[in-house]
Protein backbone atom coordinates (compact mmCIF):
# COMPACT_ATOMS: atom_id res chain seq x y z
CA UNK A 1 0.00 0.00 0.00
CA UNK A 2 1.49 3.41 -0.90
CA UNK A 3 1.62 6.28 1.62
CA UNK A 4 1.03 9.91 0.75
CA UNK A 5 4.01 11.95 1.94
CA UNK A 6 2.74 15.38 0.81
CA UNK A 7 -0.09 16.88 -1.20
CA UNK A 8 0.90 15.01 -4.38
CA UNK A 9 3.88 12.76 -3.65
CA UNK A 10 3.30 9.19 -2.57
CA UNK A 11 5.64 6.42 -1.47
CA UNK A 12 5.07 2.71 -1.93
CA UNK A 13 3.39 0.41 -4.42
CA UNK A 14 0.19 1.07 -6.29
CA UNK A 15 -0.82 -1.50 -8.86
CA UNK A 16 2.11 -2.23 -11.13
CA UNK A 17 4.06 0.90 -10.16
CA UNK A 18 6.40 1.58 -7.24
CA UNK A 19 6.88 5.16 -6.02
CA UNK A 20 9.96 5.93 -3.94
CA UNK A 21 12.20 8.79 -2.89
CA UNK A 22 15.99 8.95 -3.03
CA UNK A 23 18.35 11.68 -1.92
CA UNK A 24 21.05 12.77 -4.31
CA UNK A 25 24.59 13.90 -3.54
CA UNK A 26 23.42 17.47 -3.04
CA UNK A 27 20.90 16.31 -0.43
CA UNK A 28 18.00 16.90 -2.78
CA UNK A 29 15.07 14.52 -2.83
CA UNK A 30 14.33 12.77 -6.11
CA UNK A 31 10.95 11.09 -6.53
CA UNK A 32 11.15 8.16 -8.89
CA UNK A 33 8.67 5.67 -10.32
CA UNK A 34 9.44 2.20 -11.60
CA UNK A 35 7.30 -0.66 -12.81
CA UNK A 36 7.10 -3.74 -10.62
CA UNK A 37 7.97 -7.01 -12.38
CA UNK A 38 5.14 -9.44 -12.97
CA UNK A 39 7.14 -12.41 -11.71
CA UNK A 40 10.43 -12.70 -9.91
CA UNK A 41 12.59 -15.64 -10.87
CA UNK A 42 15.35 -16.56 -8.50
CA UNK A 43 17.67 -19.49 -8.65
CA UNK A 44 18.72 -21.35 -5.51
CA UNK A 45 22.05 -19.52 -5.50
CA UNK A 46 20.31 -16.16 -5.87
CA UNK A 47 17.98 -16.91 -2.96
CA UNK A 48 20.93 -17.84 -0.73
CA UNK A 49 22.77 -14.68 -1.72
CA UNK A 50 19.65 -12.65 -0.91
CA UNK A 51 19.54 -14.18 2.59
CA UNK A 52 23.17 -13.20 3.19
CA UNK A 53 22.45 -9.71 1.90
CA UNK A 54 19.55 -9.49 4.35
CA UNK A 55 21.92 -10.40 7.20
CA UNK A 56 24.32 -7.65 6.18
CA UNK A 57 21.53 -5.10 5.68
CA UNK A 58 20.01 -5.92 9.06
CA UNK A 59 23.30 -5.43 10.89
CA UNK A 60 23.96 -2.20 8.97
CA UNK A 61 20.55 -0.85 9.95
CA UNK A 62 21.18 -1.83 13.57
CA UNK A 63 24.39 0.20 13.69
CA UNK A 64 22.94 3.22 11.88
CA UNK A 65 19.87 3.38 14.11
CA UNK A 66 22.03 3.22 17.23
CA UNK A 67 24.22 6.11 16.01
CA UNK A 68 21.55 8.18 14.25
CA UNK A 69 22.14 11.24 16.46
CA UNK A 70 25.83 11.39 15.45
CA UNK A 71 25.47 10.60 11.73
CA UNK A 72 25.06 13.37 9.16
CA UNK A 73 26.04 11.53 5.98
CA UNK A 74 23.16 10.80 3.61
CA UNK A 75 25.20 8.25 1.65
CA UNK A 76 26.23 6.24 4.69
CA UNK A 77 23.78 3.37 4.18
CA UNK A 78 25.38 2.58 0.80
CA UNK A 79 28.91 2.45 2.21
CA UNK A 80 27.96 0.59 5.39
CA UNK A 81 25.81 -1.97 3.55
CA UNK A 82 28.70 -2.67 1.20
CA UNK A 83 31.14 -3.09 4.10
CA UNK A 84 28.84 -5.37 6.10
CA UNK A 85 28.21 -7.43 2.96
CA UNK A 86 31.95 -8.01 2.63
CA UNK A 87 32.12 -9.11 6.26
CA UNK A 88 29.24 -11.57 5.85
CA UNK A 89 30.72 -13.09 2.68
CA UNK A 90 34.06 -13.51 4.47
CA UNK A 91 32.51 -16.24 6.63
CA UNK A 92 33.90 -19.50 5.25
CA UNK A 93 32.68 -21.71 8.09
CA UNK A 94 29.04 -21.59 6.96
CA UNK A 95 27.51 -22.27 3.54
CA UNK A 96 25.91 -19.59 1.42
CA UNK A 97 22.57 -18.50 2.85
CA UNK A 98 23.66 -19.32 6.42
CA UNK A 99 26.63 -17.01 6.82
CA UNK A 100 26.97 -14.96 10.01
CA UNK A 101 28.97 -12.03 11.31
CA UNK A 102 31.91 -13.44 13.23
CA UNK A 103 33.99 -11.43 15.69
CA UNK A 104 37.13 -12.21 13.70
CA UNK A 105 35.71 -10.85 10.44
CA UNK A 106 34.25 -7.82 12.20
CA UNK A 107 37.84 -6.61 12.71
CA UNK A 108 37.73 -5.26 9.16
CA UNK A 109 35.41 -2.51 10.44
CA UNK A 110 38.40 -0.91 12.17
CA UNK A 111 39.12 2.37 10.40
CA UNK A 112 35.62 2.68 8.92
CA UNK A 113 34.50 6.31 8.65
CA UNK A 114 30.85 7.15 9.15
CA UNK A 115 31.70 10.54 7.66
CA UNK A 116 33.66 9.73 4.52
CA UNK A 117 34.60 13.40 3.97
CA UNK A 118 36.35 13.85 7.33
CA UNK A 119 39.97 14.98 7.19
CA UNK A 120 41.28 15.07 10.77
CA UNK A 121 44.42 13.00 11.36
CA UNK A 122 45.21 11.39 14.73
CA UNK A 123 46.76 8.25 16.22
CA UNK A 124 44.85 6.84 19.19
CA UNK A 125 46.39 4.49 21.74
CA UNK A 126 43.93 2.17 23.49
CA UNK A 127 44.80 0.42 26.75
CA UNK A 128 43.24 -1.97 29.29
CA UNK A 129 40.80 -3.61 26.90
CA UNK A 130 40.70 -6.97 28.69
CA UNK A 131 39.24 -5.71 31.95
CA UNK A 132 36.58 -3.50 30.34
CA UNK A 133 38.14 -0.24 31.59
CA UNK A 134 39.00 1.54 28.35
CA UNK A 135 41.61 4.30 28.24
CA UNK A 136 42.19 6.23 25.01
CA UNK A 137 45.08 8.64 24.66
CA UNK A 138 46.47 10.73 21.78
CA UNK A 139 50.23 11.18 22.16
CA UNK A 140 50.65 12.71 18.67
CA UNK A 141 47.75 15.14 19.03
CA UNK A 142 45.40 16.10 16.18
CA UNK A 143 46.35 17.41 12.76
CA UNK A 144 43.65 19.73 11.50
CA UNK A 145 44.05 22.26 8.69
CA UNK A 146 40.80 24.06 9.45
CA UNK A 147 40.49 27.43 11.16
CA UNK A 148 38.57 25.96 14.08
CA UNK A 149 39.59 27.26 17.47
CA UNK A 150 38.41 24.33 19.60
CA UNK A 151 37.84 20.58 19.34
CA UNK A 152 35.56 18.31 21.31
CA UNK A 153 36.62 14.68 21.64
CA UNK A 154 34.67 11.76 23.05
CA UNK A 155 34.51 8.00 22.57
CA UNK A 156 31.43 5.83 22.07
CA UNK A 157 31.36 2.10 22.82
CA UNK A 158 28.65 0.35 20.81
CA UNK A 159 27.99 -3.25 21.86
CA UNK A 160 26.23 -5.30 19.16
CA UNK A 161 24.02 -8.35 19.57
CA UNK A 162 23.05 -9.27 16.03
CA UNK A 163 21.06 -12.35 17.08
CA UNK A 164 18.81 -10.43 19.48
CA UNK A 165 18.84 -7.31 17.27
CA UNK A 166 19.87 -5.12 20.20
CA UNK A 167 22.64 -2.66 21.04
CA UNK A 168 24.11 -1.14 24.16
CA UNK A 169 25.83 2.22 24.08
CA UNK A 170 28.30 3.77 26.53
CA UNK A 171 29.91 7.20 26.19
CA UNK A 172 33.15 8.44 27.66
CA UNK A 173 33.82 11.83 29.14
CA UNK A 174 33.86 14.70 26.62
CA UNK A 175 37.07 16.72 26.42
CA UNK A 176 37.15 20.28 25.04
CA UNK A 177 40.57 21.55 23.99
CA UNK A 178 41.92 24.50 22.11
CA UNK A 179 43.52 23.91 18.77
CA UNK A 180 47.06 22.62 19.27
CA UNK A 181 46.56 21.59 22.90
CA UNK A 182 47.00 18.04 24.16
CA UNK A 183 43.96 15.97 24.97
CA UNK A 184 43.60 14.25 28.31
CA UNK A 185 42.88 10.51 28.07
CA UNK A 186 39.31 9.34 27.63
CA UNK A 187 37.98 6.69 30.00
CA UNK A 188 34.90 4.50 30.12
CA UNK A 189 33.69 1.18 31.50
CA UNK A 190 32.17 -1.28 29.02
CA UNK A 191 30.64 -4.74 29.03
CA UNK A 192 32.55 -7.27 26.93
CA UNK A 193 29.83 -9.89 26.46
CA UNK A 194 29.28 -8.94 22.81
CA UNK A 195 31.36 -7.53 19.98
CA UNK A 196 31.98 -3.87 20.77
CA UNK A 197 32.83 -1.04 18.38
CA UNK A 198 34.97 1.76 19.84
CA UNK A 199 34.01 4.90 17.91
CA UNK A 200 35.75 8.26 18.20
CA UNK A 201 33.87 11.50 17.57
CA UNK A 202 35.78 14.74 16.95
CA UNK A 203 33.88 17.96 16.33
CA UNK A 204 35.29 21.35 15.36
CA UNK A 205 34.07 24.58 16.94
CA UNK A 206 34.64 28.30 16.42
CA UNK A 207 34.84 30.69 19.35
CA UNK A 208 32.85 33.86 18.68
CA UNK A 209 32.39 36.43 21.46
CA UNK A 210 33.27 33.85 24.08
CA UNK A 211 30.82 31.23 22.78
CA UNK A 212 31.54 28.05 20.85
CA UNK A 213 29.69 27.41 17.61
CA UNK A 214 29.85 24.04 15.84
CA UNK A 215 31.43 23.94 12.40
CA UNK A 216 29.10 22.80 9.62
CA UNK A 217 31.99 21.65 7.42
CA UNK A 218 31.93 17.85 7.26
CA UNK A 219 35.66 17.70 6.64
CA UNK A 220 36.37 18.78 10.21
CA UNK A 221 33.93 16.46 11.96
CA UNK A 222 34.87 12.80 12.28
CA UNK A 223 33.10 9.67 13.48
CA UNK A 224 35.51 6.77 13.04
CA UNK A 225 35.75 3.19 14.28
CA UNK A 226 39.14 3.02 16.01
CA UNK A 227 38.85 -0.52 17.44
CA UNK A 228 36.66 -3.63 17.34
CA UNK A 229 36.79 -5.58 20.59
CA UNK A 230 35.76 -9.27 20.45
CA UNK A 231 33.47 -10.64 23.17
CA UNK A 232 35.01 -11.99 26.34
CA UNK A 233 33.28 -14.84 28.11
CA UNK A 234 32.84 -14.30 31.81
CA UNK A 235 34.50 -16.95 33.96
CA UNK A 236 32.08 -19.50 35.33
CA UNK A 237 32.05 -19.38 39.10
CA UNK A 238 32.50 -22.83 40.49
CA UNK A 239 30.61 -23.66 43.60
CA UNK A 240 32.84 -24.61 46.48
CA UNK A 241 32.28 -28.01 47.90
CA UNK A 242 31.84 -27.61 51.61
CA UNK A 243 32.73 -30.58 53.81
CA UNK A 244 29.98 -31.76 56.04
CA UNK A 245 31.06 -30.93 59.57
CA UNK A 246 28.01 -32.44 61.27
CA UNK A 247 28.80 -34.98 64.01
CA UNK A 248 28.88 -38.57 62.87
CA UNK A 249 26.75 -41.18 64.54
CA UNK A 250 28.80 -44.32 65.16
CA UNK A 251 27.06 -47.65 65.50
CA UNK A 252 28.38 -49.95 68.20
CA UNK A 253 30.85 -52.44 66.82
CA UNK A 254 29.34 -55.90 66.72
CA UNK A 255 31.82 -58.69 67.20
CA UNK A 256 31.11 -61.69 65.02
CA UNK A 257 29.98 -64.83 66.84
CA UNK A 258 32.68 -67.42 67.33
CA UNK A 259 32.19 -70.54 65.35
CA UNK A 260 32.40 -73.83 67.28
CA UNK A 261 35.67 -75.73 66.93
CA UNK A 262 35.62 -78.54 64.43
CA UNK A 263 36.07 -81.94 66.10
CA UNK A 264 37.23 -84.99 64.18
CA UNK A 265 36.48 -88.48 65.53
CA UNK A 266 38.82 -91.29 64.41
CA UNK A 267 37.41 -94.82 64.04
CA UNK A 268 39.75 -97.80 64.48
CA UNK A 269 39.24 -100.67 62.01
CA UNK A 270 40.01 -104.40 62.88
CA UNK A 271 43.15 -105.90 61.43
CA UNK A 272 42.92 -108.42 58.60
Measured CA distances, 64 to 70, 73, 76, 138, 163 (Å): 9, 11, 8, 27, 17
> pLDDT per residue over 50-92, tens digit each?
999 999 999 999 999 999 999 888 788 889 999 999 999 999 9
Q: What are phi and psi of 169, to 5 degrees?
A: -120, 135
> pLDDT per residue over 205-248, tens digit each?
999 998 999 998 889 999 999 999 998 876 566 666 656 666 65
Closest CA to 138 of 202, 70, 59: 202
- Percent of the chain clearing pLDDT 90 (strictly above): 51
Closest CA to 204 of 121, 148, 143: 148
Closest CA to 161 of 79, 100, 83, 73: 100
> pLDDT per residue over 109-134, tens digit each?
999 999 988 989 999 999 876 777 89
| Domains of the chain by residue range | 1-39, 42-229
Q: Please state the pTM of the whole predicted model.
A: 0.74
Amino acid sequence: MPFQTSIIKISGRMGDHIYFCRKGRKNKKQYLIRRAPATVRQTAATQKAAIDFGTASKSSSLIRNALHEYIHDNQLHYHLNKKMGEIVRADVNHPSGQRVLTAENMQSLKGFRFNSEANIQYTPVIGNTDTGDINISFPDGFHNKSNATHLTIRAIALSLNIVKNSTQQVESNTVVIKRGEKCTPLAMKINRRNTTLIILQIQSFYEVNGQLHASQNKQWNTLDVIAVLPPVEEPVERKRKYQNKAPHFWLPYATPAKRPALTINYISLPEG
